[in-house]
A and B are shown apart, each in its own frame.
Chain A
Amino acid sequence: MKEPVYEVFARKTRDQPLHHIGFLNAMGDDLARVYAWKTYDEQNWFEMCVVRRTALLPVNQTESHYADRVPEQTGKVVHAVGAASYGGSEVSGEEVPE
């Protein structure tokens, strides 16, 4: 089972913009939320959000290794899963220990 990469964004106060603070792997949106909150809890965040890396739409790097074409949707380009220069990639979920 593949575990997609999620990007994590947060801001400390209401008047700040969201900042990218890290990434994680999770099997779905529900666990991504929990993992983000538990992993990046070094601040008392006002707001935290997660988004799948492949939900990011490239603006200028549409022809580079940072971008992937979506075969099912002609012309659609999304951020490549494993091409962020700061790390992170889709991983295969490990076997759940019995």
Chain B
Amino acid sequence: MTPPAVAAPVSSAAELAPAVREALGSLILTLADNKRILGIRYSDWMLGAPTIEAGIAASSMAQDEWGHGRLTYSLLSEFGSDPAHLEHERSPGEYHSMQALDEAFTSWTEFTAASLLLDTALSLQYGVLLDSRYVPVHNRVQKLLDEESYHFQHAAAWTRRLAAAPEVRGAFEAALARYLPAALRWFGPPGGEQSGVLEAAGVVHAGPEALRAHYLAQIGPVLAEAGLAETAGIRLGADDFWEYTPELQWEGWRDSTRRAGGDGPNEETIRRVRGDKNRALLLD
């Protein structure tokens, strides 16, 4: 059997076919927007976390997310976009962040659930760019994933703690139930157009179904160890594959933004994201 042709590496977006370039630009913008909004959500808990150390971790994680966002936005200059415009001049409806991040976390249980479920989804989606044909993403993604490993350890440790605290276990289960389907859906529908274009072009090495399987394999053991897998709707199925048993809903789904509606993050969030308060000090 003849092995499949290996697509040649490309060092600039201009070398990609227009449809591939458009799909990759859209993916990169989605990743950058999620990093930026997640950073804001983490930053809300610099003060008010259960311990000083947890607050410092939240602060550091917020910095990480904003750094990742900045690095990711900067890639888009090759895709016909102005990173400064993307970072400082868009309205809420133009953001491609997850609907699950539209509202702030109202509790440490939501913080932890989002960190375990949403942040991990982002990391896995970045991970499929690690050996992309599009070479400029490589070194940025590796650094990012190194930092994200601590986010996952932090979330996993707090998952064990919250599961063992009867006072908050119910609230934590509710947060997991809200974020888990959102994270699984965020990878996109089977046979999605955007992911299909990118996978066929060798720009990503895994599509939505493979990513969902990797994702469940990463979070499944953490939830199972904490006794939370069953209520979250996941189980270790045949052949040692983790499964999410409820059916994912795709009504209203838009591949281009990876959202199924909503108006985007609220206006106050976007004012903070854009830096409106100190706009006069923004230097070229």
Bound together, the chains give a CA A96 to CA B150 distance in angstroms of 21
List CB contacts (< 8 Å) of A1-38 with chain B.
3, 24-28, 30-31, 33-35, 37-38
Write the B51-86 contact mask toward A (1 if CB under 8 angstroms, else 0). Answer: 111101100110000000000000000000000000
Please tell me if the beta carbons of A96 and B109 are within 8 angstroms of each other in the complex.
yes
Would you call B153 and A98 a contact (CB within 8 A)?
no
The interface bits of chain B over 132-153 (1 if a CB of A lies within 8 angstroms of the residue's CB, else 0) are 0000000000000000001001
User: Looking at chain B's contact residues, is the secondary structure mostly helix, strand, loop, or mixed?
Assistant: helix
Which residue of B is nearest A31, CB measured? B157
CA distance in complex: A26, B158 (Å): 11
Residues of B within 8 A of A64 (CB): none
Interface residue count for B (Cβ, 8 Å)? Answer: 26
Contacting residues, chain B, for A95 (C-beta < 8 A)? 50, 167
Q: Are B109 and A31 in contact (CB under 8 A)?
A: no
B253 within 8 A of A: no
Distance of B219 from chain A, by nearest CB (Å): 16
B205 within 8 A of A: no
Interface residues of B in 156-201 (CB under 8 A from A): 156-158, 160-162, 165, 167-168, 171
Structural contact, A93 and B51, CB atoms closer than 8 A: yes
Q: Is A41 interfacial (CB 8 A cutoff)?
A: yes
A39 within 8 A of B: yes
- With A93-B50, A96-B108 as contacts: A31 and B154 at CB distance below 8 Å: yes
**Which residues does A use to contact B, with CB under 8 Å?**
3, 24-28, 30-31, 33-35, 37-39, 41, 91, 93-98
Residues of B within 8 A of A (CB): 48, 50-54, 56-57, 60-61, 107-109, 150, 153-154, 156-158, 160-162, 165, 167-168, 171
